[in-house]
């Protein structure tokens, strides 16, 4: 007799299965790929502290590529690049901060923990639909013979564009507006070359977030260091990408040719190209988190946090999965999903989303995307250009000039500054 069916062995599903199985429930974890992580695409950095209570000393066994000890935010125009670069040794030792890891390794590891706890992982199996009786979800259909599986609770962890959430009427059939498309190349380079180009040693790694590298299509880019490869990619608004008629791989090609990025990727060999959707609507566009008999977690619920400075989906998926697994028994007993929603509300998952609810609009706004990169780059270029015998211009004059050149009014700057202050306070 199955108590909980978890659909999808990504981070959300594995975390949910782990907690429910630890609670003594009979858990079936369904995964469509041949092994967890085999079908999954993402950028590359996982923030593992969410596992502190669940898997003490997780950092000793997580399949890490590199520990991120250096984090840069880079603003690009076609010819300029301004980088704010931060590094700390603290992130290179326990309990660490973020690590680069491959999903095929990470998801398999986390799902392995669920299996160790007693969950039954069934791979190569697609949940093709819900079994609904009255208004209640009572199981799922799969693509296997005799494939109907019934349980008092279904946890949808099937990722962005969740077919289960759609079938339950929680998600509209199409919803491109709040989706971005992430595309990524993994480029192989010898480990020593990466160490040298990025100024790191041993298992230290770098996370570079980029703005202004997407031909004006709202979005951003990233470069992450793996052990002996780089992950280079862009994330762009799906609607605007379609309207622009630009192919996503052209954006990556642009990025790799940029004078600030080209020296990093020179001589690298393409190993892998992946593309995947990301739900970036934020708090105001979350999928309803439950319906009778079913909880929705991770990307399926739109819980990926994409707020300019942050692109965190895996830890939010894990956070929501843990909450679903922890509350599963109570929900089965009472038939009411309130404990799951309450647990999410009390955790960082909904707290961060709520606090940063204005971020997607601000970060993807036309000025932040298309005008401010040029403005700050021009301002800094002006500050550091030594034009003797002409005397140095004042900073305010430079700011005015840069704003004018980039079509920004000073009142816009003030308004966006205030809006940014409110969003990120």
Partner 1 sequence: MADLVVVLARCTDLRVEVDPLTGAISRDPRAAAFSASDAAAVEHGLRLGSAWGARTLVLTAGGPECDARLREVLSLGAEVRRVPVRGSYVEELATDERALAKALVAAIGGRPDLVVCADRSSDRGTGALPAFVAHELGVVQAPGLVSLELVGDDLMGERRLDYGRRERMRIPLPAVCSVEGAGVRLRRASLPASLAAASAVVPVAEVPLPGPAVRVLGARASRPRPRHLPAPTGSSRERLLALTGALLSHEPPTVVGPVDAPEAADALLDFLARNGYLSEARTGWALS
Ligand X SMILES: Cc1cc2nc3c(=O)[nH]c(=O)nc-3n(C[C@H](O)[C@H](O)[C@H](O)COP(=O)(O)OP(=O)(O)OC[C@H]3O[C@@H](n4cnc5c(N)ncnc54)[C@H](O)[C@@H]3O)c2cc1C
List interacting residues with partner 1 (CB under 8 A). 28, 34-35, 38, 104, 108, 115, 120-125, 142, 144-149
Alpha carbons 286 and 166: distance in angstroms, whole number: 13
- The listed partner (ligand X, partner 1, none) that binds 364, CB under 5 to 8 Å by sort, is none
Smallest CA-to-CA distance from 9 within 101, 112, 98 is with: 112
* Binding map of ligand X across residues 148-167, x = CB under 6 A, - = no contact: ---------xxx---x----
Length of the chain equals 425
User: What are the CB-based long-range contacts (under 8 Å, 24+) for 407-413?
Assistant: 407/371, 408/367, 408/371, 408/372, 408/375, 412/367
In the complex, minimum distance from the CB of residue 5 to ligand X, in angstroms, rounded to a whole number: 10
Alpha carbons 316 and 303: distance in angstroms, whole number: 6
* Binding map of ligand X across residues 187-226, x = CB under 6 A, - = no contact: ----------------------------------------
Smallest CA-to-CA distance from 129 within 144, 107, 111 is with: 144
In the complex, minimum distance from the CB of residue 215 to partner 1, in angstroms, rounded to a whole number: 34
- The listed partner (ligand X, partner 1, none) that binds 121, CB under 5 to 8 Å by sort, is partner 1
Concatenate the DSSP letters of all residues of 12-53 into one string.
HHHHHHHHHHHTT--EEEE-SSSSTTTT----SEEEGGGGTT
Q: Which helix (H) or strand (E) holds 82?
A: strand 81-87
Among 19, 27, 39, 254, binds ligand X (CB under 6 A): 39
* Binding map of ligand X across residues 386-415, x = CB under 6 A, - = no contact: ------------------------------
Smallest CA-to-CA distance from 111 within 329, 332, 325 is with: 325
Give yes or no for residue 9 binding ligand X (CB under 6 A): yes
Nearer to ligand X by Cβ, of 59 and 163: the residue is: 163
Nearer to ligand X by Cβ, of 115 and 311: the residue is: 311
Nearer to partner 1 by Cβ, of 64 and 337: the residue is: 64
In the complex, minimum distance from the CB of residue 251 to ligand X, in angstroms, rounded to a whole number: 12
Q: Are 8 and 30 in contact (CB under 8 A)?
A: yes
Q: At what angle do helices 348-355 and 338-346 cross, to 10 degrees?
A: 60
Per-residue DSSP letter, 161: S
Smallest CA-to-CA distance from 229 within 260, 268, 275, 276 is with: 268
Q: Are 226 and 66 in contact (CB under 8 A)?
A: yes
Nearer to partner 1 by Cβ, of 122 and 332: the residue is: 122
Among 20, 30, 81, 99, binds ligand X (CB under 6 A): 30
Give yes or no for residue 236 binding ligand X (CB under 6 A): no
Q: Where does residue 47 rank: exposed (0-12), middle (13-18), buried (19+ CB within 10 A)?
A: middle
Find residue 234's DSSP bridge partners: 183, 221
- The listed partner (ligand X, partner 1, none) that binds 314, CB under 5 to 8 Å by sort, is ligand X
With CB atoms as reference, the residue minimizing the distance to ligand X is 313
In the complex, minimum distance from the CB of residue 7 to ligand X, in angstroms, rounded to a whole number: 5
In the complex, minimum distance from the CB of residue 419 to ligand X, in angstroms, rounded to a whole number: 25
Candidate ranges 36-44, 212-220, 372-380, 414-422; the one touching ligand X (CB under 6 A): 36-44
Find residue 220's DSSP bridge partners: 235
- The listed partner (partner 1, ligand X, none) that binds 34, CB under 5 to 8 Å by sort, is partner 1
Give yes or no for residue 360 binding ligand X (CB under 6 A): no
| Residues near ligand X, by CB under 6 A | 7-13, 30-33, 39-46, 126-127, 157-159, 163, 182, 184, 233, 235, 276, 278, 298-300, 304, 311-315, 317
């Amino acid at each position: 007799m199955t108590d909980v069916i978890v659909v999808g062995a990504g981070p959300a599903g594995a975390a949910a299965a782990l907690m429910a199985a630890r609670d003594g429930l009979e858990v079936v974890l369904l995964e469509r790929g041949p092994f967890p992580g085999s079908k999954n695409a993402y950028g590359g950095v996982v923030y593992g502290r969410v596992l502190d209570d669940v898997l003490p000393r997780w950092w000793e066994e997580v399949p890490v590529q590199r520990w991120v000890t250096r984090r840069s935010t880079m603003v690009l125009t076609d010819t300029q690049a301004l980088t704010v670069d931060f590094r700390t040794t603290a992130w290179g030792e326990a309990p660490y901060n973020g690590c680069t890891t491959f999903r095929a390794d990470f998801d398999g590891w986390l799902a392995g923990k669920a299996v160790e706890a007693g969950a039954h992982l069934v791979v190569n199996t697609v949940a093709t639909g819900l079994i609904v009786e009255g208004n209640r979800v009572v199981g799922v259909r799969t693509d296997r013979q005799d494939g109907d599986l019934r349980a008092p609770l279904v946890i949808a962890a099937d990722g962005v564009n969740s077919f289960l959430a759609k079938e339950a009427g929680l998600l509209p059939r199409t919803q491109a507006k709040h989706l971005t498309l992430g595309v990524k190349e993994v480029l192989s380079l010898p480990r020593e070359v990466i160490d040298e180009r990025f100024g790191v040693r041993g298992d230290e790694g770098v996370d570079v977030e980029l703005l202004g590298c997407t031909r004006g299509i709202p979005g951003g880019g990233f470069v992450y260091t793996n052990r002996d490869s780089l992950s280079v990619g862009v994330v762009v608004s799906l609607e605007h990408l379609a309207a622009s008629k630009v192919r996503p791989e052209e954006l990556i090609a642009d990025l790799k040719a940029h004078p600030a990025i080209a020296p990093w990727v020179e001589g690298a060999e393409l190993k892998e190209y992946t593309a995947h959707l990301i739900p970036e609507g934020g708090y105001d566009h979350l999928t309803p988190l439950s319906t009778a008999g079913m909880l929705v977690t991770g990307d399926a619920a739109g819980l990926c946090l994409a707020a300019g400075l942050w692109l965190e989906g895996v830890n939010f998926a894990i956070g929501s999965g843990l909450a679903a697994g922890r509350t599963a028994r109570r929900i089965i007993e009472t038939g009411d999903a309130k404990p799951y929603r309450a647990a999410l509300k009390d955790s960082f998952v909904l707290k961060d989303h709520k606090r940063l609810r204005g971020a997607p609009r601000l970060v993807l706004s036309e000025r932040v995307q298309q005008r401010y990169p040029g403005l700050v780059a021009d301002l800094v270029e002006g500050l550091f250009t030594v034009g003797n015998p002409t005397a140095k211009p004042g900073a305010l004059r430079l700011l005015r000039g840069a704003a004018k050149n980039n079509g920004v009014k000073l009142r816009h700057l003030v308004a966006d500054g205030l809006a940014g202050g409110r969003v990120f306070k």
